[in-house]
Structure 1
């Protein structure tokens, strides 16, 4: 069953009183999701905007927004996601660039400076309040947007290395991704047991996939605004799921808080994606809780994960394959190529290419990623860096991951991140930020640079290091290099960096 048909079935047939989403300590029923979906559909039909219409949504982690999202999917329209996490000025510019005839937006977000005005430049405001009430305003349609049939979502990437970009994900990509990772729902069964915890932003692929895959399969979800340790632990303890997702930063938070093992006793596995999870962190989690951490690898462009660990794989292979992102998922082929585009022998490092129906290019075409990887003889893929991460310093290439690994040798450094800083003479130079272990002695930047000089080539040594209690992160918990560069520049201006 395709995802659009499945959501249409749920919105048509689910009993109004059936619980769908736990949010802020209360259950929201399918009735609210149905009423939001029908109200938005009625507005669009009234203005003669049917299937394929591009509809913007400032997508927040709220139940009524889930209802709007499911309704647009069920009625075969195209979601254009707009991030509520942006400052108002950036969001306004993104709305105007999106050129959509309607934007679904919360009452609270609409009160921010410039948001209403930007929407009304291109189309109508569909206002959605916390109770699920829907209203429309705007005198004219200024959008020149054309329909986008067979496009499920125009989805924002996370913006780790620069401004987020929007990619088109087709119906086929979503259907294929669900086929490979979620049990096929039976036509005569609406719901199944189990609860999924969703705390990452719905506006990014990790959060959206968590909600979509759970509801597609018939599970209820616990929806949080963001990861809050006590809320997450309480939800696990009450609902006793067998599996949950934790990004590396959240794994560290659980360990640092010394959460009692009995509170997490229902969990058999934890999946970890969005960014590289250090093997020693996964091992520490397993040693303390007996819960295996299963890494996944994917991207917005592939509508989710394309490689992953399973529990049986982990039990058999982890000791010899730690650090791997797992094996290709069913229907996915992986290969590694050199600079000339030719496939490299097993075990050699090069650019990772993917062939899958989850790709916009289809199942017959290899799509090149920006990731440097190797695939071993047993099919396990190891991501070793990003080709576009290389910092070219006066003609010499610097791999940020290698510099970060040296900085992380310091006992006070929990995590390091390296970014390119513009330089008039050399093009770019490496700079770094480090996040400290809680309670550790604060090293001087000079001490960290001396450590780098000990293990790195001269051109690899960062010219500035800023010491932080916490590295700046995107909502998906990746280090934001854009904000890191701002922190470094601020530190340089204050004369505090080396």
Structure 2
């Protein structure tokens, strides 16, 4: 079955009175999810929005948005995601730029005059009420020109190395992605849960919601990741498997969560950003829970490689640092930057992927990596993050690893900023471990021991918290902006 057919069959078979999606103590039943899904389909029909038309969703981790997401997707229309956590001016500019014919959100967002004006400049503003009703305004929807038929989701990338850009993910890509992971047919509805702490407006959170729904499990939604809330959900619902981004894993370790609180967990999958092997080792040693790294990208509509539990038991000690092996039907190769020719096993190159999710074509990613003789994939950095300093390439990941090896440093981020003489130079910000003390000068000295002169940052700044995207990835774009906005280039 394709995604649309699966969602239609799922809602038809779902037991109406059983709980489906919960936030805190508030639970929506499958009947309520079905009701709001059908309501958004009816609304779009009344507005004359046919298959392929865009429906803007101001996505929040709440039960009503699970129903709205299902309703738009099973109707064959396109979900255009907007982040309601942005400041109103930035959100309004995003809406005006994309001009969807209808935008749906909660009253406290849609009701902001600036936001409503941005929506109604081109389309209809719709409030999703707490009881599941959709309250649409009087405006007439705009015409849809230039949208791509067959697009399921139009969403922003995370914007870790530059301004976020919108990508279009087709229904065919989602069909292939879920098929690769064994999803298909009408699920067996269970009382087991999937805990979703990643924002639905990001590809990781949206994927987790859809995959949990398709599996027939209940959704436990967290509006945002907080250690105490997440631990309380694990203790209450006792899942065997959960998903956490690396930054959240680190927060769990730093909070010294008692081992017995996580005793139900067998494994944690971790994606979105690279998960440091040291963090995985620490987590496994502390809790005895395997951390299964995954690799994917927004453009692939999901993961394309991952550790399985069986592989992790057999291979992890020998393949430490890998993100696992590509899924069935997915091919990955490392290629030479100069010629595009495939590199031999074990040699680093720019990664290319070919699968049904890429339309059967080799697609060049922004990632650098290698594939060993046993098929395990290792990510070594990003090609688009490289800093060209006076003709020499500086890879931020390498500099970050050196900074993070200092016992006082919890996390570090390195970015390039413009330099009149050298073109670009690296700068760094660091977040210290609790109770730790170190000076920027001491961190620079540590860099001098491990790095070549051109790799050493021209400035280091200590901050309370590293800038992160909604998906908790470090934002190198914001790191660069911190230095570009200031007059100093020295050590701070």
What TM-score, normalized to structure 1? 0.95
* Structure 2 counterpart of 1:284: 282
Structure 2 unmatched ranges of 5 or more: none
| Preserved contact between residue 297 and residue 306 of structure 1 (Cα < 8 Å) | yes
CA distance in 1, matches of 2:166, 2:27: 33
| Preserved contact between residue 201 and residue 208 of structure 1 (Cα < 8 Å) | yes
Structure 2 residue matching 1:320: 3-state secondary structure: coil
| Preserved contact between residue 197 and residue 221 of structure 2 (Cα < 8 Å) | yes
Is 1:421 aligned to 2:417, yes or no? yes
- Cα deviation 1:6-57 (Å, max 9, x = unaligned): 2122333433322101112222112222222222222211122222211111
Written as runs of structure 1 = structure 2, the 5 A alignment for 1:170-209 is: 170-186=170-186, 191-209=189-207
- Cα deviation 1:212-249 (Å, max 9, x = unaligned): 00101111110111111111111111211110111111
* Structure 1 counterpart of 2:15: 15
Residue 324 (structure 1) shift: 0.4
Residue 495 (structure 1) shift: 8.7
* Structure 2 counterpart of 1:293: 291
* Structure 2 counterpart of 1:466: 461
Structure 2 residue matching 1:321: 3-state secondary structure: coil
CA distance in 2, matches of 1:146, 1:13: 36
| Preserved contact between residue 177 and residue 301 of structure 2 (Cα < 8 Å) | yes
What TM-score, normalized to structure 2? 0.96
Structure 1 residue matching 2:316: 3-state secondary structure: helix
CA distance in 2, matches of 1:55, 1:48: 12
| Preserved contact between residue 59 and residue 202 of structure 1 (Cα < 8 Å) | yes
| Preserved contact between residue 433 and residue 488 of structure 1 (Cα < 8 Å) | no
CA distance in 2, matches of 1:5, 1:468: 49
Is 1:439 aligned to 2:435, yes or no? yes
Structure 2 residue matching 1:135: 3-state secondary structure: strand
Equivalenced residue count is 491
CA distance in 2, matches of 1:55, 1:45: 12
CA distance in 2, matches of 1:434, 1:380: 31
TM-aligned CA distance change 1:57 to 1:38, over 3 Å:
same
- Cα deviation 1:405-428 (Å, max 9, x = unaligned): 221232211211100112222221
CA distance in 2, matches of 1:421, 1:496: 13
Residue 179 (structure 1) shift: 1.2
| Preserved contact between residue 64 and residue 132 of structure 1 (Cα < 8 Å) | yes
| Preserved contact between residue 269 and residue 293 of structure 2 (Cα < 8 Å) | yes
- Cα deviation 1:414-462 (Å, max 9, x = unaligned): 2111001122222211000111111111x22122122222222222111
- Cα deviation 1:154-177 (Å, max 9, x = unaligned): 122111112211111111110111
Structure 1 unmatched ranges of 5 or more: none
Residue 404 (structure 1) shift: 1.2
| Preserved contact between residue 78 and residue 153 of structure 1 (Cα < 8 Å) | yes
CA distance in 2, matches of 1:279, 1:327: 16
| Preserved contact between residue 54 and residue 148 of structure 1 (Cα < 8 Å) | no
* Structure 1 counterpart of 2:115: 115
CA distance in 1, matches of 2:74, 2:41: 10
Written as runs of structure 1 = structure 2, the 5 A alignment for 1:112-151 is: 112-146=112-146, 148-151=148-151
CA distance in 2, matches of 1:426, 1:138: 56
CA distance in 1, matches of 2:397, 2:8: 45
Structure 2 residue matching 1:377: 3-state secondary structure: coil
Is 1:406 aligned to 2:391, yes or no? no
* Structure 1 counterpart of 2:475: 480
Root-mean-square deviation (CA), in Å?
Answer: 1.7
CA distance in 2, matches of 1:100, 1:320: 50
CA distance in 2, matches of 1:255, 1:406: 21
Structure 2 residue matching 1:236: 3-state secondary structure: helix
Equivalent in 428, 440, 449 of residue 444 of structure 2: 449
- Cα deviation 1:181-235 (Å, max 9, x = unaligned): 244334xx55134210001110111000000001011111101111111111111
TM-aligned CA distance change 1:36 to 1:496, over 3 Å:
farther
* Structure 2 counterpart of 1:358: 357
Q: Which moved more, 1:38-47 or 1:240-249?
A: 38-47
